[in-house]
Amino acid sequence: MDTLIKICGISTPETLDAALNAGADLVGFVRYSRSPRHVELDQGRALSRQAKGRAQRVVLLVDPQDEAIAEAVEALDPDLLQLHGHESPDRVREIRARFGRPVMKAVGIAEEADLAALAPYGEAADRLLLDAKPPRRADALPGGNGLAFDWRVLAALDPSISYMLSGGLTPDNVAEAIRLTGARAVDVSTGVESALGIKDPARVEAFIRAARAAYGTEGR
């Protein structure tokens, strides 16, 4: 199976160029007003056009209504919809069918017992994104909190489940995360930022370089 590296929460042309030039396979644009990485539709449209043909374009949405999805699809023309809220498996199926785009569903993980929720979502979505459960604070975001979960719990995961590993990854620990989990796809946002919501091109490049080295795909 191919290896994939995703840089999420991109909001400027300069950061996007850094990700694309370093060889990101997927780039993510956040449509969630509470997030410091949120992009307006016109901003997202321009970024998506910049990335077209160079990487898969992902739009992240949180418990979206159909109108919000339609707006994002029309403006950004994403290759993949990422659902990062409390969407049920039935809602995932509905969105996938209605909008004709592949869907990646984020599922929060804190302990081995959380893996039981994956099978229903795995049947509904094209891919799962395994992220750390958010802190129990009123101001906590659904994702992008820079927190990792205990990767060792994934030893009990059904190997047939296609997933992307997220949560607390950085240029310094992504190789270890790949080694421990065997994940063939990784996602980062906070771990390549110099300040909240501000991507650091050097860290973006370092993350992609470290992941490629761990996968043995440097130069490809």
Catalytically active residues are 8, 131
Distance of alpha carbon 16 from alpha carbon 46, whole angstroms: 11
